[in-house]
Amino acid sequence: MKITAYLSLGSNLGDREANLRAAIENLSRVGAVGVVSSFYETEPMEIKEQNWFLNCVVELRTEMSAAELLEGLLQIEREMGRERLRPKGPRNIDIDILLFGNQIVDEKGLKVPHPMMHERRFVLAPLAEIAPDAIHPVFKRSAAELLSVLPAGDVVRKL
């Protein structure tokens, strides 16, 4: 049975757009890519002394479990040269599972929905663009609703 997942992709090293496009292409190994949001340029949040990010959200239809999908995504990141040198630090590619159908997953190393997605404009803006009615299974609110109640703050520019 196919599940619709929403993934957040980000890059702030090298050719950010090429990195996102390569990651999107590689996602075909773990499912069928559906709608892809616009690209958004985003100010770094926690560690400010780094390049701005380019972010997008991708709809993916998959037959994998959430854990299998995560392992596939980590493999794509490794093959693209992702190095985890510093938490929240610079990276050529980052792929996170935001939503996995309406499932709530709480396992070591895997939390779905993404535990911070409801606080991140760089996630909610592209998600609301492609799936405004996607429901957060914990808060029971749509992506568009969650985006509308975010306080002003972090800079997110649609390209």
Q: In 3-state terms, what secondary structure has residue 72?
A: helix
Whether 91 is catalytic is: yes
Given 16, 94, 120, 121, the catalytic residue: 94
Given 91, 106, 133, 141, the catalytic residue: 91
**Environment class of 1 (CB within 10 Å of its CB; exposed 0-12, middle 13-18, buried 19+):** exposed
Whether 15 is catalytic is: no
Whether 106 is catalytic is: no
Distance separating alpha carbons of residues 23 and 76, to the nearest angstrom = 7
Distance separating alpha carbons of residues 84 and 62, to the nearest angstrom = 26
12 token code pair: 């702030």
Distance separating alpha carbons of residues 151 and 77, to the nearest angstrom = 32
Residues across the chain: 159
Whether 154 is catalytic is: no
Given 16, 61, 78, 82, the catalytic residue: 82
**Would you name the residues annotated as active-site residues?**
82, 91, 94, 96
